[in-house]
């Protein structure tokens, strides 16, 4: 009797697997994705839409006023710290109070605000109106001696900013001055601030998603004279640039990302992961096992590290009140995401470690915090999570990315995907790179590795294109 039941169970399992596989094949290969929503006539400014918009592009300088700086110092000096547990010396409960005290002490005594302001202004900044709101962007052109320059839009995420790309920009715009080769691709770099982040005006109406940000950035590139362009992004930037590749494949000549959140064909993905839990070599290459397994450990880590995401995706305005009122609280909320500082020594907190080639310094982190503090935009920036949860562009999730793509895997990224899963979404994956080091904030942590991978990607695209022409 028991042997008959076992046979029945096996047959049921096989039938269930067959149904799942059949449904996945149907959805993946025989079901057309739904049409994309029309986002071309959006308006995010105050009041009713104005069809005749100002299309001028104006130079902009960052300035931290005396009043803002004095207010900052007063608030830092009045910081009220929490007591830490006696038997906890790690970040298990969040950023330790002692770490916050060190950061605030450095901020008050050693951080050079004037030098930071000068550093931020070393590249050209501009403002322009798009869809009713003011968009800020950094625009760096290479020397005129460089020929065949490629336009490249680089998009940041949260809690980063355009400043993330400052160490990578010179490597991309002037490779010969930074150890590059004569045949290295050269870029004209545009780094916009996401609306609601830093110096870009926040939308005044609900519903502004990553897809809408992509539309704004596409209009920005067109305004700058670029009908075709390349894209690079991490964190939210990878989501925004991916939407641009889906909505405007005829314009996007290449998409390079260093973060990816999901793939189409959910059943196929889950089935593959499930099979791999028992027979990992059947599902993925051996070198990719660590990126997926053990599944329970990966899920546990995500639950522990993404609590902020739930709060920001549900009640961002409540959280924004506190973050906009306390600079120490704002720094704690941001720096807790830059978890690299858990391994810092006292020398790091004193600004005595060279991070020009790898990693990030306390000065760089505080400059990023200053961008949010002085513009009072942390509340509007975290609102981006709620907008993308409620108003996310569902039809877009079913569309594959058909433009030439590259995915750079930095080992300390909190979530990475094997090449096999990336190919489910990116049907023209030209390059997949396992990096030797680095994490979530790749452009700031490992600018040279990122720049080299981006140049390698462009070379691969152009070689692929040349081969097609020869055929």
Which listed residue (184, 235, 288, 363) is catalytic? 235
How far from chain centre, in Å, is Cα 330?
20
Q: Are 192 and 153 in contact (CB under 8 A)?
A: yes
Three-state secondary-structure class, residue 46: coil
Q: How far apart are CA 48 and CA 93, in angstroms?
A: 46
Token digits of residue 389: 């949860």
Q: Are 98 and 91 in contact (CB under 8 A)?
A: no
Which listed residue (385, 399, 426, 432) is catalytic? 385
Token digits of residue 189: 């770099």
Q: How far apart are CA 376 and CA 197, in angstroms?
A: 9
Token digits of residue 73: 């110092």
Three-state secondary-structure class, residue 373: helix
Which of 247, 275, 267 is CA-nearest to residue 23?
267
Please confirm, yes or no, whether 146 is among the known catalytic residues.
no
Which of 110, 188, 126, 177 is CA-nearest to residue 350?
110
Please confirm, yes or no, whether 293 is among the known catalytic residues.
no
Please confirm, yes or no, whether 385 is among the known catalytic residues.
yes
Which listed residue (166, 349, 440, 453) is catalytic? 440
DSSP string, 279-321: -HHHHS-GGGHHHH-SHHHHHHHHHHH-HHHHHHHH-HHHHHH
Q: Which residues are catalytic?
A: 235, 385, 440
């Amino acid at each position: 009797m028991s042997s008959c039941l076992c046979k029945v169970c096996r047959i049921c399992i096989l039938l269930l697997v067959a149904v799942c596989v059949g449904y996945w094949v149907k959805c993946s290969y025989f079901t057309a994705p739904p049409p994309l929503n029309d986002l071309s006539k959006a308006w995010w400014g105050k009041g009713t839409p104005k069809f005749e918009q100002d299309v001028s592009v104006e130079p902009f300088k960052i300035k931290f006023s005396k009043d803002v700086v004095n207010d900052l110092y007063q608030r830092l000096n009045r910081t009220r710290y929490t007591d830490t547990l006696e038997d906890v010396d790690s970040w298990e409960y969040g950023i330790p109070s002692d770490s916050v005290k060190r950061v605030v002490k450095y901020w008050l005594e050693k951080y050079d605000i004037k030098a930071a302001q000068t550093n931020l202004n070393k590249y050209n900044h501009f403002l322009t109106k798009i869809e009713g709101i003011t968009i800020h962007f950094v625009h760096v052109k290479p020397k005129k001696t460089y020929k065949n320059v490629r336009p490249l839009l680089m998009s940041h995420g949260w809690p980063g900013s355009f400043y993330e790309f400052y160490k990578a920009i010179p490597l991309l715009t002037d490779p010969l001055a930074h150890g590059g080769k004569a045949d290295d691709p050269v870029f004209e770099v545009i780094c916009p601030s996401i609306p609601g982040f830093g110096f870009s005006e926040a939308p005044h109406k609900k519903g502004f998603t990553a897809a809408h940000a992509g539309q704004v950035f596409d209009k920005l590139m067109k305004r700058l004279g670029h009908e075709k362009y390349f894209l690079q992004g991490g964190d939210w930037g990878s989501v925004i640039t991916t939407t641009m590749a889906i909505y405007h494949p005829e314009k996007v000549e290449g998409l390079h990302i260093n973060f990816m959140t999901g793939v189409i064909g959910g059943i196929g993905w889950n089935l593959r992961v499930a099979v791999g839990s028992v027979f990992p070599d059947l599902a993925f290459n051996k070198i990719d096992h660590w990126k997926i397994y053990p599944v329970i450990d990966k899920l546990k880590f995500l639950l522990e590290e993404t609590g902020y995401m739930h709060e920001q995706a549900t009640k961002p305005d409540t959280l924004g009140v506190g973050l906009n009122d306390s600079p120490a609280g704002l720094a704690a909320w941001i720096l807790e995401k830059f978890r690299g500082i858990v391994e810092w020594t006292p020398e790091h907190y004193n600004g005595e470690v060279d991070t020009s080639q790898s990693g990030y310094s306390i000065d760089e982190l505080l400059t990023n915090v200053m961008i949010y503090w002085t513009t009072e935009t942390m509340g509007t920036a975290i609102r981006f999570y709620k907008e993308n949860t409620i108003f996310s562009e569902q039809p877009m999730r079913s569309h594959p990315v058909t433009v030439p793509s590259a995915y750079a895997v930095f080992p300390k990224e909190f979530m990475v995907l094997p090449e096999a899963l990336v190919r489910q979404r990116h049907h023209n994956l030209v390059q997949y790179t396992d990096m030797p080091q680095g994490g979530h904030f790749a452009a700031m942590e490992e600018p040279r590795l990122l720049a080299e991978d981006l140049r390698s990607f462009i070379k691969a695209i152009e070689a692929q294109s040349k081969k097609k022409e020869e055929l």
